[in-house]
A and B are shown apart, each in its own frame.
Chain A
Amino acid sequence: MINVSQDAADRISQGDIYKDIDYIQKIIVEGNEIEIHNIVFPYVVVLTQDCDLEQNARYFAVDGRKPNTDDKKLLSVIVCPLYNEEMFLNGSHLADPTLGMEMGKISKRKKGNKETTNYRNLRQNETARYHHIVFPDNVDISNSVIDFKHYFTVNVENLMNTRKEKFVCRIEVLFRELLSQRFANYLARIGLPSIVNDA
């Protein structure tokens, strides 16, 4: 189980969890008609480094001197979606009829009601692609899995303007550092080809 804070604070922070966040897939303009294709994610977690978020917040602070240049301003914030654990294990977390994506499954139990190796690795955060989270009882989110492969960005000013209504909670310091480190490691991974020895 992780520790969370439910204080929205005065700026976007790493580890913040927001609800109902739009990801714009595409915008089609034909003649006088516009179509905006969005995917709405129920929950996302902010993964941008907190020092970057803190420096960006200075440009919008009511008091204090603003920086002389726009050098430290952010254009967007990196987020990653959280999926309900049970749906994730069943591969149905992106199976809403509007998306229709079929994902891989992970069995939880094997014969004798023992945990499978894959599920234990997921739960103990030993699977590089995923991060498993158990929320405390006072947070209205069930056990979740973050998929690092599905990261996307949201416009920082848009998030700032809607954060008070969309903020759910913030993952506390040590737990968010682990998440951040695992995300960075996943992005920096190197896939090696399998080389067949012809000899």
Chain B
Amino acid sequence: MNDIDSEYIEADSTEASPAGKDESDKESLTASLKQAEQSDEIVNADYINLTESTTHEELSQYRLKRPRKVVIKASIKND
């Protein structure tokens, strides 16, 4: 089982910028969100209220999750 929560929008692996994010961090965040929107596994990112002051930590803590169906298949082995 993949232990990464696929619906959890992960923060960028670089260290968080100090207060007053620089442009490169904001662009990276926007790119991550766009990628998240296009992914089938990750919830629509429209509801994240992204502003200039949103930090990576804030974004990573804002978990957007919806109920999802999981089908587990198994085969019974004959002895």
Contacts and interface: CB of A to CB of B under 8 A. Distances in A.
Q: Are A and B genuine complex partners? A: yes
Interface stretch (A4-12, A80-88, A106-114): A80-88
Nearest to A25: B69
B47 A94 contact: no
Contacts of B21: none
Contact of B72 (A36, A92, A97, A142): A36
B78 A99 contact: no
A35 to B, nearest CB: 5
A110 B20 CA distance: 34
Interface residues of B, number: 22
Contacts of A86: 47
A40 interface: yes
B61 interface: yes
Contact of B47 (A33, A39, A40, A84): A84
B63 interface: yes
Contact of A32 (B67, B70, B72, B75): B75
Contacts, number: 74
Nearest to A150: B67
A71 interface: no
Interface residues of A, number: 29
Interface string A19-48: 000100100000011111111111100000
Contacts of A40: 67-70
A95 B72 contact: no
Nearest to B66: A96
A38 B66 contact: no
Nearest to A85: B47
Given A33-B74, A39-B68, 6 more contacts: A34-B75, A40-B67, A41-B67, A42-B65, A84-B47, A84-B65
